[in-house]
Amino acid sequence: MVFSLTQTAIFWIEWFMSTVGIPGLMALMFFESLGLPPLPSEVILPFAGVLLSQGAVGFLGIPFTWVTVLGAALLGGLLGALGGYLLGHELEMPVLRLIGKRFFIEEKDIQRAERFFEQRGEITVLLSRLLPILRAYISYPAGAARMDIKRFAAFTVIGSFPFTVALVYAGYVLGEHFSDLDPYFNALDVVGAIILAGLLVYVYLKMRRRAREAKEAGPKAQAPPQ
């Protein structure tokens, strides 16, 4: 049997939510919104829909209904997003610049991102909540850019609502056929490997370019003035 990080994550997500119930759903969405892998909302929310279709009752006797599922998912996601916002707010751009240098992100790239976020922060947060992966990390630059926290929270909920409803409904419709998505989930391992390989290639090329620029600048700095 080939080890699959995605399948292992799915197993623990399903076990945790089945055991803990609605509070477990809220906790999973909280940590997913903080960007902690491997906790994809594309797995958490459909499985919540499966439990909803089964009329499951978890810890504390709270039943899986449309109100409790959507309420727990949105509240957990909002709290996680606010946690990311506050971390970004406290770290501020100087620290983000320091981290960026470690990953070969140049100053001009950070300045470009700052200008873009200042001009289009609200719509950026709104649209990012509809996109996989990006939705979990947009909170950090929003906090660093000092976006108004009330507007950030409002656009987070508005953007998350259709995404959440769609994924929960997908799981609700699939019901006991949820396992039919296994090939799709297995493909996530491939996607993750491709993204990781791309990042490694990017870092390698950046290191080569900087090493070449440093080598070319060395003789120029040592050359005596004419």
What tens digit of pLDDT does each residue of 13-52 get? 888 998 999 999 999 999 988 887 667 888 899 889 999 9
> 192 CB contacts (<8 Å, ≥6 apart)?
5, 6
What is the residue type of 23?
P
Predicted confidence band of residue 77 (pLDDT cuts 50, 70, 90): very high
List of residues 6+ apart from 44 with CB closer than 8 A: 13, 17, 25, 28, 29, 32, 73
**Distance (Å, rounded) from C-alpha 146 to C-alpha 73?**
26
Q: Decide if pLDDT at 1 tops 50.
A: no
Measured CA to CA, the distance from residue 25 to residue 12 in angstroms comes to 12
- Contact in structure between 56 and 63 (CB atoms under 8 Å): yes
Q: Does residue 102 or residue 145 have the better pLDDT?
A: 145
